[in-house]
Amino acid sequence: MPPASADRMSLSPPSFHVAVIGGGPAGLIAAEVLGRSGVAVTVYDRMPSVGRKFLMAGRGGLNLTHGEDFRRFVTRYAKAESDLRPLIEAFRPEDLRAWSEGLGQETFVGSSGRVFPKAFKASPLLRAWLARLDGLDVRFALRHLWQGWDGKGRLVFTDSSGRTITEKPDATVLALGGASWPRLGSDGGWTALLQERGIAVTPLRPANMGFTVAWSEVIRSRFEGEPLKRMAMTFEGESVRGEAVVTADGIEGGAIYALSARLRDAIQRDGSATLHIDLRPDLSTESLTIRLDAPRRGQSTSTFLRKAAGLSPLAIAFLREGAPSLPLEAEALARLVKAAPLVLTGVKSIERAISTAGGVPFTEVDEHLMLRHLPGVFVAGEMLDWEAPTGGYLLQATFATGIAAAKGVLERLKIPDAALTESGRSATRQS
């Protein structure tokens, strides 16, 4: 994408007006692509400011994308890989990094392969981004709640005073997000509006979320809020190393999020799911057996496990949750340490999930993300039916779909793409 100083193409006054509904990353990047090409853009959002979930995501460090091999990268989108691949190939992780750096926010690759701005937070990037959009004359209509379409096909909004406003743009980009963290703006209310127009919508479900566990009083009273570190979780043959955090009613954290889609579907199907936790993934069962075969010399079980196996008090409590009476034989105890069972009883609410699964199926849109049954209306971001683990994959696909939708608008309106004509290097660079 061209640097921040690039001017929009000289179409004065703008020949077309496009409405972008939703002020998250997908909507803002769509507005930028359109604004660069001389389109008059209005971004509508029901909140008093834009980018609220983007800012919250950056509170602990804004994970923009991931630095792993691209062939591995796209597999993270699982069932949606074939649909998202061409869109992400057109706006790859290195393009997202270049875009961020064009806003004055240099990036770096962390030890885990995750990519962050050097400032680490989202707020400097968002400020620079909004300044760029202002320079492109992108207009913002905040506190405008979208109510669908009227009988004449016009967009209908209600503003903060309760007044009804209608607009008839030349094209519309819907980027209303999913249904996680609704207090930040995305509440999934758009699903009914699209269904009323005959658009199929897969029910929204939580993704990258925590799970409920029927903890013993020991876990609840002693270990709430504590992390379980340096372990590996396995479910249905897939293993993930990382950390998890105990909550009063369950468990959450990076390792559990990576398995959340499989676990959610299993709980929906079977009523519960049992995963297994390797509390010492750095040791083989054989090595651990040798350690646990040492004489106990009067030590309590907890002391022995702490010294011989290097287990933390929380890890020992996990062992007892799955097997209150621990085996005395060294090999059996080692096998338990390497695969402690944890029964998940339910899925935590979508309101607290990091992201959302479900939404508009790709069969409902064409290759430019335009709704087949609503010509001139494009869909981007989390409104589409895809999900991905945390690690930068969420934002990468959000940006890529926002750009794809905007370029679809330009093609429909037969407007040259300024990102191509101005610099010779496009955000849709070929691999």
Domain regions of the chain by residue span: 17-206+356-423, 211-347
Q: What angle do CA 275, 281, 283 make, to 5 degrees?
A: 140
For residue 238, give the 3-state DSSP assignment: strand
Closest CA to 404 of 95, 63, 62: 95
Order of all β-strands in the sheet with 171-174: 139-142, 40-45, 17-21, 171-174, 377-379
Cis peptide before 13 (omega within 30 of 0): yes
Amino acid identity for residue 265 in this structure = D
Kindly provide the b/e burial profile for residues 131-154, where b requires at least 16 CB atoms within 10 angstroms of the residue's own CB: ebbeebebebbeebebeebeeeee
pLDDT means per 10 residues, the chain with 431 residues, are 44 77 98 97 97 89 96 96 98 98 97 94 96 98 98 97 97 97 93 97 97 95 95 96 95 95 97 97 97 93 95 94 86 96 97 96 98 98 96 97 98 85 39 33
Domain 17-206+356-423 - what CATH class? alpha beta
Q: Are 293 and 282 in contact (CB under 8 A)?
A: no
The pLDDT score that the predictor gives to residue 3 is: 42
Q: What is the pLDDT of residue 101?
A: 97
Residue 316 CA to residue 223 CA, distance in Å, equals 11
Q: What would you report as the CA-atom Rg of the chain, rounded to the nearest whole angstrom?
A: 25
Written as six digits, the tokens of 193 are: 């509006």
- Residue 179 structure tokens: 């249904």
DSSP string, 88-99: HHHS-HHHHHHH
Place of tokens 């990102």: 419
User: What's the pLDDT score for residue 14?
Assistant: 61
Q: Over the range 176-211, which residues count as b (16 or more CB within 10 Å of their CB) and which as e? A: bbbbbbeebbbbbebbebbeeeebebeebbbbbbbb
Q: Which residues pair with 411 in a beta bridge?
A: none
Cα 220 to Cα 248: distance, rounded to the nearest angstrom:
5
| 3-class state of residue 408 by DSSP | helix
Residue reference for tokens 């609410």 = 349
Bridge-partner residues for 117, per DSSP?
Answer: 107
Q: Quick one: pLDDT at residue 428?
A: 39
- Tell me the backbone φ, ψ of residue 22, rounded to 5 degrees: 120, 120
CA angle 358-227-304, nearest 5°? 135
CA distances from 110 to 75, 113, 120, 242, 345 (A): 21, 5, 11, 15, 34
- Which residues make beta-bridge pairs with 174? 21, 379
